[in-house]
Structure formats: structure tokens, C-alpha cells
Amino acid sequence: MSGHNKWSKIKHKKAATDAKKSILFSKHIAAISVAAKENPKPEANTTLRAVIDRAKADNVPNINIENALKKAGEQKDLKDLIIEAYGPESAAILITAITDNSNRTIAEIKKLLSNLRAKFADPGSVLWAFDQNEDKTWRAKFPQPISKEGTKQIQKMISALEEHPDIQNIYTNI
């Protein structure tokens, strides 16, 4: 009965959840670094405070947050990107990303979108359909109903896009 002990089952589950946590923590750390560029003090920087609160809600360790704040001035220039696309049934998709190389990130996301049968949109062609909230998240102005099949395709697309290390959030108008 080799390979049938309790630990061998746990280690496979743990490896999968640890990989997901690592990606999530990296995304939060990058968001903290970008927000800290304006002002590294959360008391005076509402964007940074909101990003830190979201990181804490996802159980990012305090030491990681503190290290990100310390290294914010030392890191490469990270940039915020907003990428616009159309998905199944013309659903508007807004993708926010943080990257040190915007050309690379845009090319990678374009390829992902084409593989997922979504269309990369020109700047401004989707953004008008969203409002930005105080906490720097986006909300659809005009939610659009789509079929169950379209919803499944968009959920599959979102799952695939969330695995990209530079993508922070994905918003749709459905």
C-alpha cells in the first residue's frame, strides 16, 4: 500500500492551495508597491489603505505587507494598466494589471484573450461602461444579461485570466 498514507494525500492538496495563495499574495504585494509610490504612509494615502485592507482580508501576513512598503521605493517602476476586451455575447470585460513591462503584459493578455475567443478592445471602448468606486474598484453602469452558456464561458475566461501573475482584477458588465 505504498503511497496511500495520509500525508501523501495532504501534500497534493496543500501544494495546490499554496500555489494559489502565492499568486494571490504576489498580486497584493504588487498592488501595495504601486499604491505606496504616491505616499508610503497608509494614514495619508487612502488608496494604499484600501489595498492593505484588501490584502489583510485575503490573509496576507503583516510581515509581507511591511516588507512591500519598505521596498516600494527600491523596486522597479511598476505601472497600472487597464485593458479592455469583449467576451462572449459582447460582454464588456475590464482587466486591471500591475506590471514592470507593459508591452509584455499586453501581448500576453492579448494572446490569452484570443485563445479564450475574446476580443481585445481599443482604449475607451469598454471603459465608458464602468464607474470607478472610491476604493479603486470598477462597477458596471449597465449590467447586461447573457445566457447560461455565455456565463459559463465568461467564468472559464476569468479563471484562466486570474492565473496571469500581472492581472490584479477582472470586471464584467454581466
Residue ranges and CATH numbers for the domains of the chain are 6-71 (1.10.10.200), 79-172 (3.30.70.980)
Note the pLDDT of residue 39: 82
What pLDDT, on the 0 to 100 scale, is given for residue 126?
Answer: 94
Angle between helices 148-162 and 102-115 (to 10 degrees): 150
The whole-model pTM stands at 0.71
Give the separation between CA 34 and CA 31, rounded to whole angstroms: 5
Pairing status of strand 92-99 against strand 79-86: antiparallel
Burial 86-112 (b: 16+ CB within 10 A, else e): bbbeebbbbbbbbbeebeebbebbeeb
Q: Is 117 exposed, middle or buried (0-12, 13-18, 19+ CB in 10 A)?
A: exposed
Q: What is the mean pLDDT of each run of 10 residues along the chain (174 residues)?
A: 70 83 88 84 88 93 90 75 93 93 94 91 93 88 92 92 90 93
Residue 73 confidence (pLDDT): 66
